[in-house]
Amino acid sequence: MTPSSGGQGAAPRGQPTPSTAATTDRACEADPATAAPVGRYGFPAVLWRALDNHPPPGLSRIRWRSPLRGPWLTSVLGATLLVVLPIVVMTGLLSYIAYGPRFGQAIPFDVGRLKLPTFDWPTRPSWLYRLNQGVHVGLGLVVIPVVLAKLWSVIPRLFAWPPARSVAQVLERVTLLMLVGGILFEIVTGVLNIQYDYVFGFSFYTAHYFGAWVFIAGFVCHICLKLPKMVRSLRSRSMRSVLHTSLADTVPEPPDADGLVAPNADAPTLSRRGALAVVGGGALLVAVLTAGQTLGGFTRGAALLLPRGRSYGKAPNDFQINRTAIAAGIDPAVTGTGWRLRLLGGSNAVMLDRAALQALPRHTVELPIACVEGWSTTQTWTGVRLADLAAAAGRPNPGSAIVSSLERFGAFNHAILQNNQILNPDSLLALQVNGADLSLDHGYPARLIVPALPGVHNTKWVSSIEFRET
């Protein structure tokens, strides 16, 4: 069966067919990304010729036979990543800002010239961080099948020999290494962090932050080099014609300068529309298995990738936590009748036991806790407004506050709050959740709960709050 006119396998009128042009055209075509003719050498020509004459053993035995590879399929996958990956990057950088780097509580703190502009992280809407982190983690997982398909589509280019024929192509290779290496590093470390598996032995936060900048640099350079070619490739055939082309009508694309099209392709076992369906189906499956950890409700039951479990029980304190009291080294004895909350910042320290806190005006609000790993949970909290505690301490309009925990060690045994986070009427020192006293694992005798604040900064087992002028 021959391809129908306008189908995905039809060559433009006057264009040599793949079988006749595979070995004649590539030697005289130019690579638009580097302006170096494929069959010629740039400066220093001696180096490139020497490399060309001494390929690695076994490289010549590799044969790329898929008839689906080509500039069009690669460009479709690339265009998808061009839309999605900037969203993943931006939400990741916003997550870093939400941690409060100007207060020294974001990791890493010393980032040199990679310092981001900072601002007061909003407290409205209360689900802001939940949305930001849900999108960051969710899209980061959903995009994995697309990334793998994109790498598959360009793998012949990665094994091309010589690896470069000019200095310009060397620079292109460096940006490609930054792009591919960066995104694979971010995916692997990100997935391991979601599952709390730190087998890599270094700080996830630090590595993920600097790894992101390596990827961003490679991504921007790659876009500048490849965008014109991607646009031309996308225009070479319509998506509608591809989706209407059957397996029997699927043939290789015309030969390309980058060598993505196989010169002697095998018969297709899958059409291009089938390949797109496989990639799209994989992304949809990941979305179904992931989205429930952020959306909650009935969707949580489908969230098989939820690191802290889909359901716990029906008691008031039966919901997910990141750190238990035992893991934090909390002695139950220090949370008993002898516990006192210290309020600092005024002329004199104020000491309040739990009975005194319960005697103050209390407020009840439904707020989510969202963690950097992407999971979240919404509960009903009851406690004393932080604004009322600031007034009781003698500083009714503080610039910031340091909330300290009974936990002695750990990167998050305290949190620094901004003015808007302290004075938000829904910001509480919570004493109860869902109508019952907090359990020890959930922060008894008192814990912080602030709208749109990253989960680790909603400090548990609070021992003191220092309200500061600035």
Q: Convert the pLDDT of each residue in 412-461 to its tens digit.
A: 899 999 999 999 999 999 999 999 999 999 999 999 999 999 999 999 99
Does 212 score more than 70 pLDDT?
yes
Cα separation, 296 vs 315, in Å, equals 17
Structural contact between residues 105 and 457, judged by C-beta atoms closer than 8 angstroms: yes
Structural contact between residues 401 and 415, judged by C-beta atoms closer than 8 angstroms: no
More confident: 29 or 436 = 436
Average pLDDT of every residue of the chain: 88
Q: What is the pLDDT of residue 39?
A: 58
Q: Which range is least confidently modeled, 103-107, 278-282, 464-468?
A: 103-107
- In order of 53, 401, 434, the CA distances from 126 in angstroms are 63, 20, 18
Q: How many CA atoms lie within 13 A of 291 on its CB side?
A: 11
Q: Mean pLDDT throughout 116-139?
A: 94
Q: Mean pLDDT throughout 175-203?
A: 92
More confident: 294 or 227 = 227
Q: What is the pLDDT of residue 43?
A: 78
Place of tokens 């490289």: 59
Does 67 score more than 90 pLDDT?
yes
Judge: domain 332-468, CATH 3.90.420.10: yes
For 200-263, the DSSP string reads: T-S-HHHHHHHHHHHHHHHHHHHHHHHHHHHHHHHHTS-HHHHHT--STT--PPPP-TTS-S-T
Does 266 score more than 70 pLDDT?
yes
Give Cβ neighbours of residue 355 (< 8 Å, ≥ 6 apart). none
Give percent of the chain with pLDDT exceeding 90: 68
Cα separation, 366 vs 357, in Å, equals 20
Q: Mean pLDDT throughout 88-106?
A: 94
Q: What is the pLDDT of residue 190?
A: 94
Residue 198, Cβ neighbours under 10 Å: how many? 12
Q: What is the pLDDT of residue 405?
A: 97
Q: Mean pLDDT throughout 71-94?
A: 96
- Report the candidate in 415, 448, 65 with the shortest Cα–Cα distance to residue 262: 65
Does 31 score more than 70 pLDDT?
no
Helix axis angle, 71-98 to 204-235, nearest 10° = 150
Structural contact between residues 398 and 387, judged by C-beta atoms closer than 8 angstroms: no
Structural contact between residues 78 and 183, judged by C-beta atoms closer than 8 angstroms: no
Q: Which two tokens stand for residue 267?
A: 């018969």
Q: What is the pLDDT of residue 33?
A: 41
- Report the candidate in 402, 433, 394, 434 with the shortest Cα–Cα distance to residue 418: 402
Phi-psi region of 296 (alpha: psi -120 to 50; beta: other; left: phi over 0): left
Q: What is the pLDDT of residue 245?
A: 94
Q: 60-69, 116-125, 443-452 — which one is most confidently predicted on average?
A: 443-452
Cα separation, 285 vs 129, in Å, equals 24
Q: CATH 3.90.420.10 region(s) of the chain?
A: 332-468
Q: Mean pLDDT throughout 203-215?
A: 95
Cα separation, 312 vs 464, in Å, equals 31
Q: What is the pLDDT of residue 237?
A: 92
Positive or negative, the Cα torsion across 103, 106, 108, 112?
negative
pLDDT band at 5 (very low <50, low <70, confident <90, very high): very low
More confident: 384 or 292 = 384
Give percent of the chain with pLDDT exceeding 70: 91
Q: Is 284 helix (H, G, I), strand (E, B) or coil?
A: helix
Residue 159, Cβ neighbours under 10 Å: how many? 12
Q: Mean pLDDT throughout 69-83?
A: 96
Q: 307-311, 342-346, 372-376 — which one is most confidently predicted on average?
A: 342-346
